[in-house]
Amino acid sequence: MFTRAFAVLLAALFTPAAEQATERVFYLTHSRTAQDLQEIVMVIQVVANIRRVSLHDEQKAVMVSDEHKSVTVRGTAEDVRLAEWLVTVLDQPASATAPQEYRVPGASDDLVRVFYLTHAQTPRDLQEMVMLIRSLADAQYVYVHSTSKALVLRGNAWRISLAEWLISELNQPANTRPPVGPREYRLQGGSDILPPEDVFVRIFYTRARTPEELSDVLTGMRSAVKFLPRSFLNTARGAIIVRASAEKITAAEQALQHPQ
C-alpha cells in the first residue's frame, strides 16, 4: 500500500511540463454585446472542450470604456493555442465569408472548421443548421456565433465533409430556386459511422410554402416510413433532410411522391 501511494505522489510531483495548465488572457476588440462575448466563451468551451474559461467585462465591473473586454482561458498549451485561433477568427468585423480551418497538432484526423452561414436570415435558420449538422454528422463539438453567422465544428474528415456539403446546398440566397429532384451524399471513410448502413444523406426539396406545411410533410413521411429518427427540416429552403440506409431513403422518397 505504501509503495503504491508513494508512486502516486511521485507522479503528481513530476507531471510532464506539457501537461501542466497554462493561463492566457485574450482581449476582444470587435465583440461589443453581451451575447457576442458569451457566445465566444461557449464556442471555446464546446468546440475546444475547455471548461475553465471566464469572461471579464470591465465596462460592467468599473464602468469604463467598452474596449476592456477579455476572455481568460486555462488549459494545456495546445488548448490555449486552439482557443487563441478561435478568438482570432470570431473576434472580427462581420464581413468574413470564406471557411477557415485549424488542424490539431499531433492528431491525424482532428480538424476545426469555421463555416459562415452568410444567407441565414433568422436565428431559427442558424439553429436549424446547428441541429442538422449535430445530428446528421454525430457532431459533439459544434456551436454557432450569431453575430458573424459563424458555425464552428470540430470533428474528423467525414464529419467536416458532410457539413461542407450540407452548407453548400442549403446556405443559399432566399430567392434561389431549388434544384430539380433530390440531392444525395454518401458518407465516406468513417469507421465510427453508426449504424454503419446509415451512410446516405438525402435532401428533398418540397413545395411547402410555410413552416407549418413543411412540418406536416415531415410528419407524413415519418408516419409512412415508421422509423426515421434522422429526419429534419430546413425551413429557409423548404427542404427535408434525411440520413438513413438506402432502403429507408427509398421509402422516404416514395412517401413524398405518394403521400397518404
Contact assessment for residue 194 and residue 138, using Cβ atoms and an 8 Å cutoff? yes
Which pLDDT does position 19 carry in this prediction? 58
Q: What is the pLDDT of residues 200-236, one digit of tens each?
A: 999 999 999 999 999 999 999 999 998 999 999 999 9
Task: Give the pLDDT of residue 86.
Answer: 95
Q: What's the pLDDT score for residue 68?
A: 64
Distance CA(215)–CA(211), nearest Å, equals 6
Which cell goes with 119? 444567407
Alpha helices by DSSP H, listed for 137-229, are 157-170, 211-225
| Least-confidence region, from 51-60, 163-172, 204-213, 219-228 | 51-60
Q: What is the pTM of this model?
A: 0.85
Q: How confident is the model at residue 252 (pLDDT cuts 50, 70, 90)?
A: very high
Name the residue among 105, 106, 177, 139 with its Cα closest to residue 115: 139
Give all domains of the chain, ordered by start, each with its CATH number. 182-260 (3.30.1370)
Q: Which residues of 169-187 are buried (b: 16+ CB within 10 A; e: fewer)?
A: bbbeeeeeebeeebbebeb
Q: Which tens digit of pLDDT belongs to each residue from 111-148?
A: 999 999 999 999 999 999 999 999 999 999 999 999 89
Residue 153 has pLDDT above 90, yes or no: yes
Instruction: Tell me: pLDDT of 54 over 80.
Output: yes
97 has a pLDDT exceeding 80:
no
Calculate ∠ Cα 215-143-34, nearest 5°.
105
What pLDDT shows up at residue 10? 42
